[in-house]
Every structure is written in C-alpha cells, then in structure tokens.
Amino acid sequence: MNKKNLKSIAGLTLIEILISVVVSSIMMAAIYTTYSIVNSTYTQVLEKAKVSRSSRDLIELLIRDTRMAGFKYYLGDNDLGFPVESYLEFVGGATTVKDSHDPIVIIPNELGHSLSDAIATPTPKHNLDDTCCDKIHIVYDDFNQNDATQPYKRYKLTYFANPLSDGSNADGPINPRYGIYKSKISWQQNIGQETGSWVSDCSECYHNELVRDYVEDMEFIALDQNGKVLSPYPSTNSEASRGNLYKIRAVDIRIAFISEKPFFRFESRTGNERQLSGFSRAIRSFSDRNLRDNVVVTVYTRNIVGQDIF
C-alpha cells in the first residue's frame, strides 16, 4: 500500500481521542453526581417516612390511652348477680402518686419509673442541659363479666423514658437517645372487700415494656376547658393543684423523634446549628447529622368530669 492510499484512510487523531475521553469523563461525573444526589434524597425520604411511620404508632397509643383516663364502667340492672356500678375504692392523690387513682397525673422532666414510683437514685440524663422527659400516669376502669371474683377492673398506665445508647467511648455515649417505655398495673379488690391494692402480677400487667426507641423528648401539657394551661399546674403536691387534676379537659402531647441513621450529608457549622423547641422547653441546638422532628397532637379527656368520677 503506497502513501497515497494511506492518506485516504479515515481515523481519529490523538487530540480527538483525548477530547473524547475528557468529554466522556465529564458526562460520567455529571451522571454520578446526579445519581448520588437522587440516591441521597431518596434515602432521606425513606428515613423521614420511617420516623413518621413509627411515631404514629406511639402517638396512637397515647391518644387511645389518654382518652380512656377517668373512664368508669356502669353495668346497670343485670341478671349476672354483679353490683350495678363499680364498688372499687377510690384513693386520692393526696397520699402518693403511686397510690393515686386520679385519672391523669403528669410529672415534668422525670426519667425512669418503678412500681412504687419512688426511685431512690434518679435516672441520669445524657447531659445537664437535657430536660427530657415528662412522665404520665393514666387511670381508667373496665369490666370483665367472666371474672366472678372481681368483675370491675381498674388499671394504671405509665409512660416514661429512659436513656439509651449503643455503648460508650472516651467521648461519652455512642448515639445517645431515649426510649419510651410503658407499664401497666391493676387494682385488686374482690367483691365484698372494702379496700384493695395495686398489683403488678395480673395477667394484663407488664412493666418496662419498650414501645419506641430513638426519641429526643416527650412532653405533656394539661389544658382547661378554654384551652389554657392550668394554674396551679395539676399535681398531687397540694390541695389546690390536686383540684386541678379534675379540670383537665385536654392534653397537648409532643414527641420529638430522632432518626436512627444520619440524615443530613454534613454536620452543621458553628452558629448555624439545627434547632429543636417544645411547648415549655428551651430551644436546643444540634450539630450532628441526625434528623429531629416534633409530632404534636391535642387529646381531649372526655371522661374527666369531676372528682366523683370514680
């Protein structure tokens, strides 16, 4: 083949090949960047949906149980030989929170729970600035016609928080957060007995049952019929505050959840931290990559009408 024929053969020069490589590299980088952004966004959507989905389970439990507070079962005339209405003793909260039969008792900023509700050593918080979490006791009545010994029932539910982590190192707890727990005890008082006592070994009872992990805070605010915060705040500490226990017409519930995995791509810069606020809590700032989100509901206490509810 002579030189003339060689010149007529089409092909790519080295410069053209290098240009093609550069253009292809730019396109691949653009495609990878787009994929990375879409994948990151998709992961964030899944994580936020997971937080939202799991938060609904806890919120629904709290809504259902709060609405039951103060419920009293009335059987009426019957052919079963049972009393027409509840014969169970009522114990006011002027004694202790543990003994109290008051429909709702909220204890702010207190972790942990024992069946005697008298914790000798307070459960430590993750840091001194942490105000998590409120605790709530809910009491309601029920009825079981298959129990000839004690047909009328009374239960006390307690929602409380305890600190959780994935271990610790020199810097402190790894992945610190809180778990929400639930306990249930029953009032034992057979027909014909004038007094009774709380027991924790009934078939329906349980203690320290974890119902939700990865929680940042839990807060309850008691409201009156006008939607205002009750003052003095209802508690068992004094006669005035105890009287307001029966003026609770609604409870604002706030649960702050934290994502199980990092949500944001980067930690926030100093001075531009991500913030979380509550009803009465001071605004807290966070610089890590986790998502924190508040879920707020108002629950009306339809069964609390006065101190003679029981």
Q: What is the pLDDT of residue 310?
A: 45
Segments making up each domain of the chain, as ranges: 53-309
307: pLDDT strictly greater than 60 = no
What is the arithmetic mean of pLDDT over 114-123? 74
What is the arithmetic mean of pLDDT over 286-302? 90
pTM above 0.75, yes or no: yes
116: pLDDT strictly greater than 80 = no
By CB atoms closer than 10 A (0-12, 13-18, 19+), residue 272 is: exposed
Q: How far apart are CA 225 and CA 251, in angstroms?
A: 11
Q: What is the pLDDT of residue 30?
A: 84
Instruction: Provide the residue type at 282 as one letter.
Output: A
CA dist list (Å): 163 to 130, 197, 266 = 11, 30, 26
Query: Where are any strands of DSSP class E within 152-249?
Result: 152-164, 168-169, 172-173, 177-188, 197-199, 206-223
Mean pLDDT lowest among 2-6, 41-45, 65-69, 304-308 = 2-6
Nearest Cα to 104, choosing from 139, 54, 145? 139
The H or E element spanning position 138 is strand 135-143
Q: What is the mean pLDDT of the chain?
A: 85
Mean pLDDT lowest among 35-49, 69-83, 155-169, 291-305 = 35-49
DSSP string, 73-104: -B--S-SS---SB-------TTS-TTT---SE
Mean pLDDT lowest among 103-107, 114-118, 126-130 = 114-118
- Higher model confidence: residue 229 or residue 9? 229
